[in-house]
């Protein structure tokens, strides 16, 4: 037993390290960490916020992304190189996958875990998002942390539980959608636990998740209060929801039919002729409303966002519901990911990471030479086959499903659906938004297949 324990202690870190190498293959193939235009703002915002926090050098502008992700990756790149960020994200992902695999498979678990990680890396977008300088990978990592805290806490030591809670906290603070989805998941799982007997350990897990969410929200409010002088969950966030209902149509209809009435005083009434059916154009377009108005008008738009959306919903509830349902379905079924080269990204290197500009120019991404034509259909077919596998197992084990696998499915399936709703219906439909979580579907299918192989010799009643 002592020799087995020693081999386990030596083998587990080695397995996680090897899995992390599998996961980093897109960055290695690219010869540089994978970038998205938003990556440069995350990199740039970190030093600015750090100077405000630790040197009290306040600024008029800090950015509109998550400051916690920017601060979290700052010690790894330190405006020198981005490779340590990829390494840290890959190790973190591999570690959480290890804890999940260990919670389900008996010993020996290493070979199953390595097969799982290798297939995920080759067949899905998981490795691409771990290699991407963005908080996207932290979304699915968070959802697996939620499973571990609530349904697999008995497989974690106290130290592991604290590490999982810390990772979950950072993931929640790293993106606004992660906070929304974490709150929704906590409420959903709390209702689910109510239906189960002997649920005291589960309630403990729900309580721990609620504590992590509270601490994450409190940290965001405190940081924004320090930086802006006013407490806020989102800081200087553009009015995405306002842009969504305008792009969908009901928002434009409301303004066209109600502006000029004595009781309607929205600042948007001054810009009705500039509104389009593209939410990105409203926020990011050079001639769009958000980019072309003065700061004072932006502040009014932010304050009027929720009243305007509620007024639109009261006026056109069925039309907006129909459009939101369409956006949800479109987002749910759209999950390719193609980080093409960007002239803006290259330009930003001059001020953000000037010493890495030449290294980026040598990457395949900068030359638009990444193999997406092959990767996208591979993931599409992988997801389709995975859905068939999950359906087959659901029918086969309908009466007596394994509790741990049922719990994992109860987290993954609602989260994939909820992500499509939050991003597609409330923000905008974009391939990347669903691609960053859809790999959890093949992950669940692979877990089911490996568990089935383990029990192959046992009769299934």
User: Can you give the C-alpha Rg of the chain in angstroms?
Assistant: 23
Q: Where are the alpha helices (DSSP H) in 229-336?
A: 240-248, 250-258, 279-284, 289-292, 295-315, 317-332
pLDDT at 75: 94
Bond prior to 108 in cis (omega within 30° of 0):
yes
CA 107 to each of CA 5, 12, 156, 309, 458: distance values in angstroms, whole numbers, following the listed order? 11, 12, 15, 53, 17
Dist CA 345 CA 360 (whole Å) = 10
Rounded to the nearest 10 degrees, the angle between the axes of helix 240-248 and helix 250-258 is 80
Phi, psi of 35, rounded to the nearest 5 degrees: -120, 155
Give the SS3 label for residue 387: helix
CB-facing half-sphere around the CA of 16: CA atoms within 13 A: 21
Q: Is the dihedral of CA 255, 256, 257, 260 positive or negative?
A: positive
225-249: per-residue pLDDT in tens? Answer: 999 888 888 877 888 889 999 999 9
pLDDT at 94: 97
Rounded to the nearest 10 degrees, the angle between the axes of helix 67-77 and helix 83-104 is 110
Q: What is the mean pLDDT of residues 101-106?
A: 89
Residues 407, 195 contacting (CB under 8 angstroms): no
Question: What does the H/E/C string look like for 181-192?
Answer: HHHHHHHHHHHH
| Percent of the chain surpassing pLDDT 90 | 59
Phi, psi of 264, rounded to the nearest 5 degrees: -115, 115
Q: How many Cβ atoms from other residues are within 10 Å of residue 346's Cβ?
A: 15
Residues 41, 49 contacting (CB under 8 angstroms): no
Give the SS3 label for residue 303: helix
403-420: per-residue pLDDT in tens? Answer: 788 889 999 999 999 999
Alpha-carbon torsion, ordered 147, 152, 153, 155, to 10 deg = -140
Whether the predicted pLDDT of 341 surpasses 90: no
> How far is C-alpha 286 from the chain's CA centre?
27
Region of 368 (left: φ > 0; alpha: ψ -120 to 50; beta: rest) is left
| Percent of the chain surpassing pLDDT 70 | 94
Dist CA 126 CA 436 (whole Å) = 7
Determine the longest span between alpha carbons in the chain, in angstroms: 81
Q: How many Cβ atoms from other residues are within 10 Å of residue 21's Cβ?
A: 16
Dist CA 71 CA 68 (whole Å) = 5
Whether the predicted pLDDT of 259 surpasses 50: yes
Q: How confident is the model at residue 459 (pLDDT cuts 50, 70, 90)?
A: very low
285-308: per-residue pLDDT in tens? Answer: 888 888 888 888 888 888 899 999
pTM assigned to the model: 0.90
Whether the predicted pLDDT of 10 surpasses 50: no
- For tokens 């996680």, the residue is 16
- For tokens 């499973």, the residue is 147
Whether the predicted pLDDT of 7 surpasses 50: no
Q: Chain-wide mean pLDDT for the chain?
A: 88
Instruction: End-to-end CA distance of the chain: give it in Å, rounded.
Output: 34
Residues 170, 75 contacting (CB under 8 angstroms): no
Domain range summary for the chain, segments of one domain joined by +: 2-235+334-454, 240-315
């Amino acid at each position: 037993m002592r020799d087995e324990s020693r081999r386990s202690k030596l083998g587990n870190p080695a397995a996680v390290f090897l899995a992390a190498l599998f996961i980093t293959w897109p960055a290695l193939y690219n010869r540089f960490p994978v970038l998205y235009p938003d990556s440069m703002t995350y990199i740039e915002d970190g030093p600015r916020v750090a100077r405000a926090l630790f040197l009290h050098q306040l600024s008029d502008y800090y950015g509109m992304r998550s400051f916690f992700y920017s601060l979290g990756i700052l010690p790894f790149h330190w405006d020198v190189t981005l490779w340590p960020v990829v390494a840290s994200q890959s190790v973190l992902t591999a570690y959480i996958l290890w804890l999940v695999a260990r919670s389900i498979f008996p010993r020996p678990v290493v070979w199953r875990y390595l097969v799982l990680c290798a297939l995920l890396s080759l067949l899905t977008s998981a490795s691409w998002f771990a290699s991407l300088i963005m908080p996207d990978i932290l979304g699915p990592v968070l959802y697996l942390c939620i499973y571990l805290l609530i349904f697999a806490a008995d497989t974690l030591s106290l130290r592991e539980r604290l590490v999982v809670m810390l990772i979950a906290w950072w993931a929640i603070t790293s993106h606004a959608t992660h906070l929304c989805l974490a709150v929704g998941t906590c409420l959903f799982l709390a209702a689910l636990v109510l239906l189960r007997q002997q649920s005291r350990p589960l309630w403990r897990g729900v309580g721990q998740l609620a504590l992590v969410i509270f601490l994450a929200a409190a940290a965001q409010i405190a940081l924004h209060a320090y930086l802006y002088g006013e407490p806020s969950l989102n800081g200087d966030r553009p009015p995405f929801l306002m842009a969504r209902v305008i792009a969908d149509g009901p928002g434009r209809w409301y303004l066209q039919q109600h502006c000029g009435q004595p009781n309607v005083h929205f600042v948007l009434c001054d810009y009705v002729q500039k509104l389009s059916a593209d939410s990105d154009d409203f926020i990011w377009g050079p001639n769009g409303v958000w980019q072309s108005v003065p700061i004072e008008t932006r502040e009014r738009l932010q304050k009027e966002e929720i009243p305007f959306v509620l007024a639109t919903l009261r006026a056109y509830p069925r039309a907006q519901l129909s459009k939101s349902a369409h956006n949800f379905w479109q987002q749910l079924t759209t999950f390719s990911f193609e980080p093409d080269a960007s002239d803006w990204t290259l330009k930003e290197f001059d001020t953000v990471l000037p010493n890495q500009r030449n290294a980026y120019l040598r990457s395949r991404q900068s030359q638009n030479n990444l193999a997406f034509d092959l990767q996208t259909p591979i993931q599409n077919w992988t997801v389709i086959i995975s859905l068939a596998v999950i359906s087959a197992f659901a029918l086969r084990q309908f009466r007596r499903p394994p509790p741990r696998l049922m719990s994992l499915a109860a987290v993954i399936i609602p989260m994939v659906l909820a992500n499509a709703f939050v991003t597609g219906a409330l923000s905008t439909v974009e391939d990347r938004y669903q691609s960053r979580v859809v790999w959890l579907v093949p992950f669940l299918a692979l877990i089911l297949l490996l568990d089935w192989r383990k029990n192959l010799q046992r009769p299934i009643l």
